[in-house]
Amino acid sequence: MKSCELILALDMESRNDAIDLLKTIGPDLKWVKIGLQMFTANGPEWVREVAGLGFNIFLDLKLHDIPNTVAKTVQSLSKLPIGMLTIHSSGGVEMMTAANKVRLDLKPDLLLLGVTVLTSMDDQQLHRVGVPASAPEQVQNLASAVVESGVTGLVCSAKELNSLTPVFGDQLQFVTPGVRPLGSSADDQKRIVTPAQAAANGSNYIVVGRPIYKADSPREAVQAINLELS
């Protein structure tokens, strides 16, 4: 089994509470995901502040627009201390190719990630927005588009990895949200697995949020997940 690292989804209301949490967890955690909620509230300086605490930053903005707009946005974001950035693969090959060209030119170490089907969605919801395929089928379709574009990272549920890694395992790194330790609430996630299952299925990185920052001891929660991944 290849190595798999934990990413904390830092989706919190309070900037001060988030800083306190990160200081409490300390060096047991390497990666922090900053999403739309906190990026919108606190701006680029928030990214710099969290990076200044010694964490690697996964900026999860799920960019989805015309190719030129997404490319220009990646250009702007490349000035920030980020190690990962998400774009929506449903934006199409042309959009992803444009974004990847900017990455290669300006920040080649950045792992650009194509988001496939959100883990809050199931087949019924996909059909409701006009996608006839099942979630696993749509993830396969979008993974092919990601590879075609030259993007080298994929965001998907770990439930789909068994079919993805045999085909794309040598071309992509996999980041899997919707991971819940045993006994944790599923919250609004529908296609979930445990950390150990995600790692066994071939995930390179797992994303966990509420089960960590709502735990009685977030640091112990991080340590327990790291132990499960080892």
Give the chain's mean pLDDT: 92
Give the up-direction half-sphere exposure of residue 167: CA atoms within 13 A in the CB hemisphere.
Answer: 13
pLDDT of residue 116: 93
- pLDDT per residue over 42-66, tens digit each? 999 999 999 999 999 999 999 999 9
Contact assessment for residue 153 and residue 195, using Cβ atoms and an 8 Å cutoff: no
**Which one of the listed residues 62, 107, 159, 214 is annotated catalytic?**
62
What three-state secondary structure class fits 129?
A: coil
Amino acid at 47: V
What three-state secondary structure class fits 112?
A: strand
pLDDT bucket at 188, cuts 50 / 70 / 90:
very low
Contact assessment for residue 83 and residue 111, using Cβ atoms and an 8 Å cutoff: yes
- CATH for 5-229 is 3.20.20.70
Respond yes or no: is residue 62 known to be catalytic: yes
Using only the alpha carbons of the chain, give its radius of gyration.
Answer: 17
Nearest Cα to Cα of residue 171 among 186, 150, 155, 191: 150
Displacement of CA 53 from its chain's centroid (Å): 20
- pLDDT per residue over 162-182, tens digit each? 899 999 999 999 999 888 786
pLDDT of residue 185: 52
Amino acid at 19: I
What does the block give as tokens for 193? 């697995």
Q: Spell 62-78 as b/e; 16+ CB within 10 A means b.
A: bbbeebeebbebbeebb
Q: 42 — alpha (psi -120 to 50), left (phi > 0) or beta?
A: alpha
Mean pLDDT in residue range 57-78:
98
